[in-house]
Amino acid sequence: MDYNDLANLIFPGVKDIEYYEEKYKTRNLPEGAIVTRFAPSPTGFVHIGGLYQALVARTVAKQTQGVFFLRIEDTDQKREVENGITGIVNSLKNFEMSPDEGQINETEEIGEYGPYKQSLRKEIYQAYAKYLVKQGKAYPCFCTPEDLESMRAKQEAAKIRTGYYGVWANCRKFSVEEMINKIKNGESYIVRFKSAGREDRKIKHHDVIKGNVDFPENDQDIVIIKADGLPTYHFAHAVDDHLMGTTHVIRSDEWLSSVPLHLQLFQELGFRAPKYAHIAPIMKNDNGNKRKLSKRKDPEAATDYYKEEGIPAIAVKEYLLNIASSSFENWRRQNPTKPMEEYTLELNKMSVSGALFDMVKLLDVSKAIISRMTAEEVYTYSLEWAEKYDNELKNILQDKEYALKVFGIERGNQKPRKDISKWSDVKDNISYMYDDKFSVEEYPYQVINDKESIKKILKLYIEKYYNESDDKQMWFDKIKELAGEMGYAKEVKEFKANPDMYKAHVGDVSTVLRVALTARTNTPDMYEIMQVLGKERVIRRLENATK
Ligand code: GLU
């Protein structure tokens, strides 16, 4: 009896690997094209760190005319949840990052290299495991969980490395006959890789992001096929990324220490190893302590959070590119209007350690992006968000023509308004432009704050200076006049030069008008606001503020 008999006993009726090698052809892509993937487990939660990895992967694939595919890693069936795939697919869709190949909903997929869902690839993994068994590079292990537990306890007591290796790898020692007999006797088993590595030898590895790293060789006989017949992550990774033609494995750096094992698996399977690019996690500053963004503690760790808050997907992506590469910000400054896809991301320039997630910065990026949108775009996105999350805003936006005027204020010019960072800001940002939302209980504090002066300014303005048809220059000149008439400085400069001579200046007079019109001290361009409100409403609001 030999390894062939053993392999046939463990994996009866499984195809030869030649079948799969033949079936999945080498991809026909331009020189230098990067093929990479996003390979999440369908746990029902898409972490922003996962999206970040996917963005990096997709970006480098796109910029090299390569392929970005989605593989569902569902071999740990305990962790799986219902509709987990839908969550992943929708997250990618929301961020306009749908893959070229892979799962497109719970049951369907596109692409020639599938199935892209690991639980459907059982026979493929078994074919490759069988191939290893045939060569004596994998073997059945009959150790029970209790056996492994007591082995571990012994190792810990003796203060030596834990694991299934060397002399500790008990089931390695059985002869083929013994293995076959045990199986025939109905003993349960899993399949382990027989590592040829030695812990006292080093391997040199070049990671595309982390650079050169030295590791001891792997000597652990890891499990490759579990009791349920499905592979472990390590084995599935080697088989899938080989057959799917992955050129670059871009993944979280928690896997960096598994590289020696993975390289060994590729080698023993006779595969050409891919390049690895290990991405540092996104960190958070928690009262001075740097820690990973946590699914349990941080709402912003969930990709859904951004959708619910109404932070545009494109802003999140841009921000993530900022985190990925320090040169992005500069590029953006030099190319304020170019689509982010024109930026070239270089994996080898990515940050080696975890970047800090900064919500303020993200919202700044978002503000800048929204400021460059047309009124029509702002309207469309706000409405889309409101339809899902805010009925009141949805109602406000029903009069599209008026809403476009409101969103059009200070937009489309050199220095557009930058007051909206997310769609959930919109209601508060524009409410004063709607009479039924504009009820003032108290006007905010301002420099000219005594009732008498305010009344006088407003009265004078209504009676003497306001004319709806004035152009902007004329409009502003009149406010200056008014300031002069009230004894305030007509120019800010003048006020600054002689602060003792004046109680206030023209800007403070403008503020009186602004506060009366909007109940805010800070708004976009007041001239435009007045134009959109129209004469009747302007006068009504100014008059109300004199009461
Ligand atoms: N399923 C693995 C994970 O979610 C994938 C790692 C990889 O990209 O290879 O961590």
Tens-place pLDDT, residues 507-523: 999 999 999 999 999 99
Distance 136 CA to ligand 1 centre (A): 28
Atom 10 (ligand 1) nearest CA = 40
302: pLDDT strictly greater than 90: yes
Atom of ligand 1 nearest to the CA of 251: 8
Q: How confident is the model at residue 454 (pLDDT cuts 50, 70, 90)?
A: very high
Nearest to 421 by CA among 370, 356, 463, 380: 370
Give the pLDDT of residue 526: 96
467-489 per-position pLDDT tens digit: 999 999 999 999 999 999 999 99
Distance 453 CA to ligand 1 centre (A): 67
Atom of ligand 1 nearest to the CA of 40: 4
The set of protein residues with a Cβ atom below 6 angstroms from ligand 1 is 39-41, 73, 237, 249, 251-252, 255
Residue 232 CB: number of other CB atoms within 10 A? 19
367: pLDDT strictly greater than 90: yes
Q: Cα 502–504–508 angle (5° rounding)?
A: 160
Q: Which amino acid is present at 92?
A: L
155-210 per-position pLDDT tens digit: 999 999 999 999 999 999 999 999 999 999 999 999 999 999 999 999 999 999 99
Distance 302 CA to ligand 1 centre (A): 17
- The residue that leads in pLDDT, 499 or 74, is 74
Distance 239 CA to ligand 1 centre (A): 14
Distance 234 CA to ligand 1 centre (A): 10
Q: Which amino acid is present at 291?
A: R
Burial (CB count within 10 angstroms: exposed 0-12, middle 13-18, buried 19+), residue 108? exposed
Give the pLDDT of residue 81: 82
Q: Which tokens is 170 given?
A: 């008990």
Nearest to 280 by CA among 217, 315, 325, 248: 325
Residue 497 DSSP class: H
Give the pLDDT of residue 78: 75
Ligand 1 pocket test: pick from 234, 252, 292 the residue with the most ligand atoms within 8 Å of its Cβ: 252
Distance 545 CA to ligand 1 centre (A): 61
Give the pLDDT of residue 210: 96
Strand-pairing partners, residue 193, are: 138
3-state secondary structure of 335: coil
86-98 per-position pLDDT tens digit: 999 999 999 999 9
Distance 237 CA to ligand 1 centre (A): 8
Distance 196 CA to ligand 1 centre (A): 25
Residue 39 main-chain phi, psi, to 5 deg: -130, 65
Nearest to 305 by CA among 48, 86, 41: 48
Nearest to 259 by CA among 241, 280, 276: 276
Measured distance CA(324)–CA(237) in Å, rounded: 24
Atom 4 (ligand 1) nearest CA = 40
Ramachandran category for residue 111: left, alpha or beta (phi over 0 → left; psi -120 to 50 → alpha):
left
Residue 294 CB: number of other CB atoms within 10 A? 11
Distance 39 CA to ligand 1 centre (A): 5
In the predicted model, what is the mean pLDDT of residues 336-364? Answer: 93
Measured distance CA(291)–CA(293) in Å, rounded: 6
Atom of ligand 1 nearest to the CA of 37: 8
Atom 3 (ligand 1) nearest CA = 40
Ligand 1 pocket test: pick from 45, 247, 250, 251 the residue with the most ligand atoms within 8 Å of its Cβ: 251
Measured distance CA(44)–CA(80) in Å, rounded: 8
In the predicted model, what is the mean pLDDT of residues 39-46? Answer: 92
Are 502 and 429 within 8 A, CB to CB?
A: no
Atom 5 (ligand 1) nearest CA = 39
- The residue that leads in pLDDT, 500 or 225, is 225
Measured distance CA(136)–CA(27) in Å, rounded: 31
336: pLDDT strictly greater than 90: no
Measured distance CA(346)–CA(350) in Å, rounded: 7
Cis bond upstream, residue 115 (ω within 30): yes
Measured distance CA(148)–CA(525) in Å, rounded: 72
Residue 136 DSSP class: T
Residue 231 neighbours by CB under 8 Å, 6+ apart: 75, 118, 125, 129, 224, 225, 239
Listed in order, strand segments (DSSP E) in 151-247 are: 190-193, 202-207, 211-216, 223-225
Buried b (16+ CB within 10 A) or exposed e, 46-60: bbbbbbbbbbbbbbb
Measured distance CA(350)–CA(250) in Å, rounded: 12
Ligand 1 pocket test: pick from 255, 258, 276, 295 the residue with the most ligand atoms within 8 Å of its Cβ: 255
Task: Look over the chain and give the mean of its residue pLDDT values, rounded to a whole number.
Answer: 95
Packing angle, helices 472-485 and 451-460, rounded to 10 = 130
Tell how strand 109-110 and strand 101-103 pair up.
antiparallel
Distance 56 CA to ligand 1 centre (A): 14
Give the pLDDT of residue 532: 97
Share of the chain above pLDDT 70, in %: 100
Distance 213 CA to ligand 1 centre (A): 21
Measured distance CA(84)–CA(106) in Å, rounded: 8
Q: Cα 402–444–480 angle (5° rounding)?
A: 75
Give the pLDDT of residue 23: 97
In the predicted model, what is the mean pLDDT of residues 109-122? Answer: 97
In the predicted model, what is the mean pLDDT of residues 369-383? Answer: 96
Atom of ligand 1 nearest to the CA of 73: 1
Q: Which of 41-50, 71-80, 162-171 has the lowest mean pLDDT?
A: 71-80
Atom of ligand 1 nearest to the CA of 241: 9
Give the pLDDT of residue 440: 84
Q: How confident is the model at residue 421 (pLDDT cuts 50, 70, 90)?
A: very high
459: pLDDT strictly greater than 90: yes
- In this prediction the pTM is 0.91
3-state secondary structure of 286: strand
Ramachandran category for residue 417: left, alpha or beta (phi over 0 → left; psi -120 to 50 → alpha):
beta
